[in-house]
Amino acid sequence: DQQVKQNSPSLSVQEGRISILNCDYTNSMFDYFLWYKKYPAEGPTFLISISSIKDKNEDGRFTVFLNKSAKHLSLHIVPSQPGDSAVYFCAASMGGYQKVTFGTGTKLQVIP
Amino acid sequence: DADVTQTPRNRITKTGKRIMLECSQTKGHDRMYWYRQDPGLGLRLIYYSFDVKDINKGEISDGYSVSRQAQAKFSLSLESAIPNQTALYFCATSDGVTGPDTEAFFGQGTRLTVV
C-alpha cells in the first residue's frame, strides 16, 4: 500500500523552463511534507518542506504547493538548470513521529 | 568528513551469510534510521531509533535486525542474507529537538549484492 505516490518515473525539461514534479498521498494524517533530491552515488539531500497549515512554500528557484483537499503536492523549479538533473523524492510524515514515508521518486533530466 | 558515514560502501556476499552494515554520525542527533532503496519502490524504512534505548520496526523489518551501540552508531544486520535483500541501503539521522519534522541527513549509501 503506497501511501505516497509519484506517478511519473521520469521527466525531461529544457533548460530555463519550469519543471513540475507531482506527488499524491492517501493518508490524511500526514501533516508535513518534504522533497529530497538525490544524485547518483550519493544519499538524498533535503530540498524543501511544507507544513499542512500552509499551501505554499518558496525557497529561491524551488516552490512547493500543497492542496490538502486533493491530497496533492507539487514541486516547481523555475528556471530549471542542468544541475537540477537528479531523482526527486517526495516524502510525508505525521508530526512528532518523524517516521517519514517516501514516494518512489521522479528522475528529472534538464536538457541544456 | 561526511556527517553520516556508512561502511562498507559496497559489499557482495553469499546467500545465508550474516552481514553487518555500519553507520556513524557526527551530527549529534538522537534519531537514526535505516532505509533500503529498490528500483521503482523508492525508499522504504527498515528500522528506526529515537534514542539509544529506543528501537522500532519500520515497514520492512523482516530478515533484519539493528543495534544502537551509542548515540552516534546504528548498525543494521542481515542474519541470513538472501538475494532479494540486494539493494541500496541508506542510514539517516534527524534532530527531534528543534521540531518534530526536521529534515533528515543521509549517508552515501551501501550497495549490497547477495549472490
The pLDDT assigned to A17 comes to: 98
Which residues in chain B have their CB less than 8 angstroms from residue A49's CB? 101, 103
A-B Cβ pairs (cutoff 8 Å, strict): 62
Dist. CA B91–CA A87, nearest whole Å: 18
Instruction: Give, for B4, the enclosing helix (H) or strand (E).
Output: strand B4-7
- What pLDDT digit, counting tens, does each position of A21-46 carry? 999 999 998 988 999 999 998 999 99
Q: Which three cell numbers stand for residue A107?
A: 528522475
- What pLDDT digit, counting tens, does each position of A56-109 carry? 999 999 999 999 999 999 999 999 999 999 999 999 987 655 578 899 999 999
φ and ψ of B16, to 5 deg: 95, -15
Instruction: Give, for B32, the enclosing helix (H) or strand (E).
Output: strand B31-38
Q: Is the per-residue pLDDT at B98 higher than 50? A: no
* Minimal-distance CA residue of chain A relative to B31: A98
Of the residues A32, A47, A94, A99, the best mutation for testing chain B's interface (the one with the most B CB atoms within 10 Å of its CB) is A99
| Residue A104 Cα, gap to closest chain B Cα (Å) | 4
The residues facing B76 across adjacent strands are B21, B66
DSSP one-letter code for A98: -
| Residue B80 Cα, gap to closest chain A Cα (Å) | 26
Tell me the residues of A at the B interface, defined by beta carbons under 8 Å apart: 4, 6, 9, 31-32, 34, 36, 41-46, 49, 51, 89, 91, 93, 95-105
- What pLDDT digit, counting tens, does each position of B2-19 carry? 799 999 999 999 999 999
Q: Which residue has the higher pLDDT, B34 or B40?
A: B34
CB B43 within 8 A of CB B37: yes
CB nearest B94 (choices: A31, A98, A103): A98
| Residue A56 Cα, gap to closest chain B Cα (Å) | 17
